[in-house]
Amino acid sequence: MTQAQREHRRYAHEASITFRVGNRLIAGRTQNVSRGGLCATLADPVAMGTELDVDMVLVFEDDAQSEALRLPARIVWCTPLDDAHQVGLVFRSLDAERSEYLSLFLRYLDDGSRREKTPRESEIDKRFG
């Protein structure tokens, strides 16, 4: 699937994330984020179909951090990648407030104040077209 075929624009951005699966916390970093979900790298695998909450935090150049944005999500794929795991998740239904916060988060990524990253094809993109 190409960017033109995707429903939502993807932003190549590394944000700090924490998956909340029951009482378990799993930390990682995003590879990209969109209105519909995200791709992240984690140390541990998470089973496909797992429903969870994900906290996303923007990290600024001066090491300051944004307040965490917590969103409900579901894992749609998980694959080993080197010594880690890469996962894709889709955001579940969002209420109006969370939808607005996500829009603000994405506007920050799109406002041009951050250095533009060159799009790159990931190993996952190569495997799943």
For residue 106, the one-letter residue type is L
Structural domains in the chain, CATH included, are: 3-105 (2.40.10.220)
- pTM tops 0.75, yes or no: no
Asked whether residue 27 carries a pLDDT value surpassing 60, the answer given is: yes
Mean pLDDT, rounded, for 69-88: 95
DSSP assignments along 69-118, one per residue? EEEEEEEEEEEEETTEEEEEEEE----HHHHHHHHHHHHHHHSS-SPPPP
Asked whether residue 90 carries a pLDDT value surpassing 70, the answer given is: yes
State the pLDDT at residue 6.
Answer: 54
Name the more confident of 119 and 18.
18
State the pLDDT at residue 7.
Answer: 66
Strand partners, 81: 84
State the pLDDT at residue 89.
Answer: 95
Closest CA to 84 of 34, 46, 122: 46
Q: Give per-residue burial for 97-118: e unless 16+ CB within 10 Å, then b.
A: eeeebbeebbeebeeeeeeeee
C-alpha 17/C-alpha 30 separation (Å) is 7
Asked whether residue 128 carries a pLDDT value surpassing 50, the answer given is: no
Instruction: State the DSSP H helix or E strand holding residue 5, giving kind and residue range, or none if neither.
Output: none
% residues pLDDT > 70 (the chain)? 78
